[in-house]
Amino acid sequence: MAEGGDKVAVSFGPEYAALEQRQVEIAMREAGELFPLPKLLVFCAFTFDPEAAKDIDTIKGITAMKVQMNTDLLTEDLKKGRASNESFWLMGQPDVIVKPIKTGCYQVEVRGFDYFDSKTGELKSGGKKNIAMWALDTDYDNRSLFPRQVFFPMAGSKDGWNKLRKDIRAELNEDLLEQFHGTVSLPFAAGENECIAVKIVDDRGIESLKVIRLDQV
């Protein structure tokens, strides 16, 4: 029961695998059979399949939330010794802007992400400086995420794509390499599906996904 007497349904993902679409379908069906109907449906998992995450974000008729569990909970010693780390993180969608450009192509800018601070009870924003990695699928088929551009904004001079400088210098475009450490994508044309997906991993290892249709930009 939530504060106020409202019913909450919770679905926990598997211990050593991602929470998948099938579990989302089952949880929605079972929640719909409860009486009274729950006001909130919470999915807790160590990791979420991208398609499952997308399905949760688009659930209608009930408030649905994704909560990522800290993998330290799998290790007894780390679980007992917890001091400041959170055990559960409420996940929001990335803050993403899609910009049409003059060449008939598009560019994506990632501005950050929102998350719920369970200690303060406040919704907070993580800025660009907190994005460890983000990936862009420029032709998302609503089934599987295929990263066509991958960026490491927090990478140092010897991290991220910079690790490849020495090994493939003859094949490398140094200007493009720098762009793959930023938060703005390279220009791209709309694909057959006219849909893109942006996946973010923040500096805590928390993943979030946003799907955008280009024909609605």
Q: Model confidence over 132-166: pLDDT tens digits? A: 899 999 999 988 889 999 998 877 666 666 666 66
C-alpha span between 182 and 201 (Å, rounded): 14
Which pLDDT belongs to residue 127?
A: 75
Domain ranges for the chain, please list them: 1-85, 94-217
- pLDDT digit string (tens) for 97-143? 999 998 889 999 999 887 666 666 666 676 788 888 999 999 999 88
Which pLDDT band holds residue 4 (cuts at 50, 70, 90)?
low
Which pLDDT belongs to residue 82?
A: 46
C-alpha span between 101 and 120 (Å, rounded): 41
Which pLDDT belongs to residue 101?
A: 92
- pLDDT digit string (tens) for 163-213? 666 666 656 666 677 778 889 999 999 999 999 999 998 887 788 888 999
Assigned CATH class of 94-217:
mainly beta
C-alpha span between 107 and 101 (Å, rounded): 7
